[in-house]
Structure 1
Amino acid sequence: MNAQWRADNQVQLLINGEAYFPSVFAAIEQAREEILLETFIIYEDKVGRQLQQLLISAAQRGVRVEMLVDGYGTADLSANYIKALSDAGVHLQAFDPSPKRLGMRTNLFRRLHRKILVVDGEIGFVGGINFSADHLNDFGPMAKQDYAVHVRGPIVTDLRNATLALLEQCTRLQQRSRRWWQRALPLAADSDQASMILCIRDNQDHPNDIERHYLKALDAARERITIANAYFFPGYRLLRTLRNAARRGVKVTLVLQGRPDMPWVRLCSRLLYNYLLRDGVRIFEYCERPLHGKVALVDHHWSTVGSSNLDPLSLALNLEANLVIHDVSFNACLHEHLQALCVQRCKPVSLQRALRGHWWRAPLIFLTFHFIRHFPAMVGWLPAHIPRLQPLLREQQPTGKAT
């Protein structure tokens, strides 16, 4: 799929599960023809069960429902959960499922990490939010802070085609004509004239598309760059581009995890603090809850929302999907939110703090950075495999625990 810019789209920023799940579930509930869903994680909690019931209802009223889940991330669905979907006519397939070896899962890399939903070819959702209750405030202190967008317009066709391209490994779907009784869901759009492009990262034709769009925007920045990213450990080119932007007077702000869901995440990011802070990059740690977002903005027009972290797994191994959005109104909406996050809920990181213990951490920083930087190439030494979709049958029960 060759990505193209699409003009005149409606877009709405959705913050956390409180905004995301009601919009998604309403779209599924009103679906009349087709539901295409890709996700990394589904948990069998209150969110996962509500999703299941809505998809079952849709299939029972004749809607074609295609679910693509990751064989690693969605590994704990019970046989009963899968059976109920299958009996209703939902087509549930796992990306690269793999049995345990010596009690351990072996399919660690090259995951389906995209989060895409397309309903009736007219309504689309893209972001970093999985179908799990840990994206809701009432989950507790470890509830995730995350983002997605709700879109309508020409870009939805690209979202649909991206999912169909993955499905075509098993079947070919024909474009269906729309019917008169299909109704547009109301969209509280932050903008209704946004230009967008869908950026897909895969291990074949588009290995660098997301990173390339980041680099192009950062290179062109003149006033401000704000990045809020959960797992921040990019390659040298992106780090150098951020530092160069700060040197030429661009206000560069990073919002990173201060309360990590995985301890090694903050450790890796902190190895880079000194390198960035000494050239004027501002770093804020979000400490209220685990940051799971993958959003960024540049100047007053460029923004991106999606599933891609800025780490080796997302930039060089996983299947990812980001929307790049050119729109002043949406950029302003996202900027206002991130600014409030920095002021009200984050701790600024000073260069003095970053330099504490630097004398003994410097060798560790050097070795760790270069190890992680070359990690994707080392994974490439592992035996090659062909990514595949495998139906999850009702008599099968995946094993393992999603992370």
Structure 2
Amino acid sequence: MNSHWLPGNRITLLENGEGYYPRVFEAISQAKQEVLLETFILFDDKVGRELQQALLSAANHGAVVHVLIDGWGSPDLPPSFTQPLLDAGVRLRAFEPVRRLFGARVNLLRRMHHKLVVVDGQRAFVGGINYSIDHLAEHGPQAKQDYAVEVEGPLVGQIQAFCRANVEAPQPTRHAWLQRWRAMRQRVGEHRDIEEGAVAAFVTRDNHLHRTDIERHYRVAIRSARKHILIANAYFFPGYRLLRDLRRAARRGVQVDLVMQGQPDMVWVMRATELLYRHLIRAGVRVHRYTERPLHAKVAVVDDHWATVGSSNLDPTSLSLNLEANVVVRDEAFARHLRERLEQLMAAHCQRVERPVPGKLRSAWIGVRSLVVFHALRRLPVWMQRLTAPPPRVVPLRDQEQA
């Protein structure tokens, strides 16, 4: 795995845009030296413009500001939004700019799905929250439920080194990883531990050396569970091995709770996940649908000593294609707090999924159908990636506009 555990960190849970945006915008606007920001989605709306003003403030204070957006997730930022940033010296780049065929976007695969911010090498933010108004409750019934963390302590140096290396190449070559590893080790030594702070790791996935790192962290925690596992994940369609680990945990007496979408932003995702319900429930896994609004969470807690918050879903695109980043925490206080927040969510806004009892013939047909669809959906992204594409590019936004 591309991570190592660092003690002495302060990890603060931030819930939804209401908890996240004020903290991250304040930190950015007060930056004096450097801002590193990577995001999948940045829209020209109320939230995007607040971020724009915070970035301009940092640049005006003399900070070097790097912003990396994903070309698919943030395809149409107008010059009225980008030009003030460029004029202030903000260094805007797009990961794999959108390619169009007859007006339609065609390069969906291999997204830069990070949601990362590092300010002055002292504070970092990691999670699943993008910069768009649909992460605020005022957006209405379609506002997303999501989480992020604010990090202080030695782990910030590791995240900073990672983001600095991403300025030109978020998908590094095999050789580039040696330089990145050395930079991360050097930056870690520059931060003092926070007394009685949390042990934490910064875990990423890419399409070279670290294809399965986030999934492996999940699987190690699940296999070690003794009391309870609680996973809230927006797009849940993991591989066979992770499903097997969950079923085995439930069968040995661990209480396994999965919180899935009940009001999805993409209905087909929920339909795919439903193929797994019977398989999981039969083993004793408890499945809950969050029904208040779309669930966008990518979080988990195991036995009140292990937790993760980040950008990675447990589906084929996150586990096989996208560039992802999570923080994994070993800290009883943080894990208990996250579990309590999720349990309140379950009690107030979730419905338990009951195991259906079809006839024998229908049961057999459902099993065969689920098996075929499961393996097809799991492998389709990788097959498509092999059929497509040159390596992803990182393009300065000013050059992109001129192209």
Work out whether 1:366 is the aligned partner of 2:371: yes
Deviation at 1:361, TM superposition (A): 3.9
* Corresponding position of 2:239: 235
CA contact 1:273–1:354 (8 Å) conserved in 2: no
Q: Distance in 1 between matches of 2:39 and 2:74?
A: 9
- What is the DSSP-based 3-state SS (H/G/I as helix, E as strand, rest coil) of the residue aligned with 1:58? helix
Stretches of structure 1 that go unaligned for 5 or more consecutive residues are: 179-188, 399-403
Q: Distance in 1 between matches of 2:326 and 2:309?
A: 6
Deviation at 1:2, TM superposition (A): 4.1
* Corresponding position of 1:216: 220
- RMSD between superposed Cα atoms in Å: 2.6
Work out whether 1:381 is the aligned partner of 2:386: yes
* Corresponding position of 1:44: 44
* Corresponding position of 1:92: 92
User: 1:352 and 1:387, CA in 2 relative to 1: closer, same or farther beyond 3 A?
Assistant: same
Q: Normalising by structure 1, what TM-score?
A: 0.91
User: 1:165 and 1:104, CA in 2 relative to 1: closer, same or farther beyond 3 A?
Assistant: same
Moved over 2 A (4+): 352-364
* Corresponding position of 1:319: 323
Deviation at 1:141, TM superposition (A): 0.2
CA contact 2:30–2:57 (8 Å) conserved in 1: no
Alignment of 1:207-356 (within 5 A): 207-352=211-356
Question: 1:191-219: CA deviations, max 9, x gaps?
Answer: 96110111110011211100010111111
Q: Distance in 2 between matches of 1:351 and 1:110?
A: 35
Q: Distance in 2 between matches of 1:201 and 1:355?
A: 42
Paired amino acid for 2:99: P
Question: 1:292-319: CA deviations, max 9, x gaps?
Answer: 0000011120000000000000001000
* Corresponding position of 1:65: 65
* Corresponding position of 2:20: 20
CA contact 1:79–1:394 (8 Å) conserved in 2: no
CA contact 1:83–1:395 (8 Å) conserved in 2: no
1:391 to 373, 391, 396: 396
Deviation at 1:49, TM superposition (A): 0.6
* Corresponding position of 2:32: 32
Deviating more after overlay: 100-109 vs 43-52: 100-109
User: 1:371 and 1:129, CA in 2 relative to 1: closer, same or farther beyond 3 A?
Assistant: same
Work out whether 1:195 is the aligned partner of 2:196: no
CA contact 2:278–2:356 (8 Å) conserved in 1: no
Question: 1:52-103: CA deviations, max 9, x gaps?
Answer: 1111121122110000000100002112211111111100000011321122
Deviating more after overlay: 12-21 vs 362-371: 362-371
CA contact 2:147–2:309 (8 Å) conserved in 1: yes
Question: 1:7-58: CA deviations, max 9, x gaps?
Answer: 0100110000000000001101111110000000011110001111111121
Q: Distance in 2 between matches of 1:367 and 1:79?
A: 47
Alignment of 1:115-130 (within 5 A): 115-130=115-130
- What is the DSSP-based 3-state SS (H/G/I as helix, E as strand, rest coil) of the residue aligned with 2:100? coil
- What is the DSSP-based 3-state SS (H/G/I as helix, E as strand, rest coil) of the residue aligned with 1:110? coil
Q: Distance in 1 between matches of 2:280 and 2:98?
A: 40
Paired amino acid for 2:280: L
Q: Distance in 2 between matches of 1:77 and 1:152?
A: 32
2:210 to 193, 206, 212: 206
Stretches of structure 2 that go unaligned for 5 or more consecutive residues are: 171-178, 188-193
CA contact 1:86–1:394 (8 Å) conserved in 2: no
Q: How many residues align?
A: 387
Deviation at 1:368, TM superposition (A): 1.1
Q: Normalising by structure 2, what TM-score?
A: 0.91
CA contact 2:129–2:148 (8 Å) conserved in 1: yes
User: 1:192 and 1:83, CA in 2 relative to 1: closer, same or farther beyond 3 A?
Assistant: farther
CA contact 1:82–1:394 (8 Å) conserved in 2: no
Higher relative contact order (CA 8 A, sep 6+): 1
* Corresponding position of 2:105: 105
- What is the DSSP-based 3-state SS (H/G/I as helix, E as strand, rest coil) of the residue aligned with 2:105? coil
Paired amino acid for 1:89: G
Question: 1:272-293: CA deviations, max 9, x gaps?
Answer: 0000001100010000000000
User: 1:329 and 1:53, CA in 2 relative to 1: closer, same or farther beyond 3 A?
Assistant: same
Paired amino acid for 2:78: S
Paired amino acid for 2:64: R
* Corresponding position of 2:190: none
% identical equivalent positions: 51
User: 1:394 and 1:202, CA in 2 relative to 1: closer, same or farther beyond 3 A?
Assistant: closer
CA contact 2:2–2:210 (8 Å) conserved in 1: no
Deviation at 1:107, TM superposition (A): 1.4
- What is the DSSP-based 3-state SS (H/G/I as helix, E as strand, rest coil) of the residue aligned with 2:104? coil
Q: Distance in 2 between matches of 1:224 and 1:3?
A: 25
Question: 1:173-200: CA deviations, max 9, x gaps?
Answer: 9x9x99xxxxxxxxxx9x9611011111
Paired amino acid for 2:162: A
CA contact 2:311–2:324 (8 Å) conserved in 1: yes
Q: Distance in 1 between matches of 2:204 and 2:77?
A: 27
Deviation at 1:377, TM superposition (A): 2.7
Deviating more after overlay: 99-108 vs 12-21: 99-108
- What is the DSSP-based 3-state SS (H/G/I as helix, E as strand, rest coil) of the residue aligned with 2:117? strand
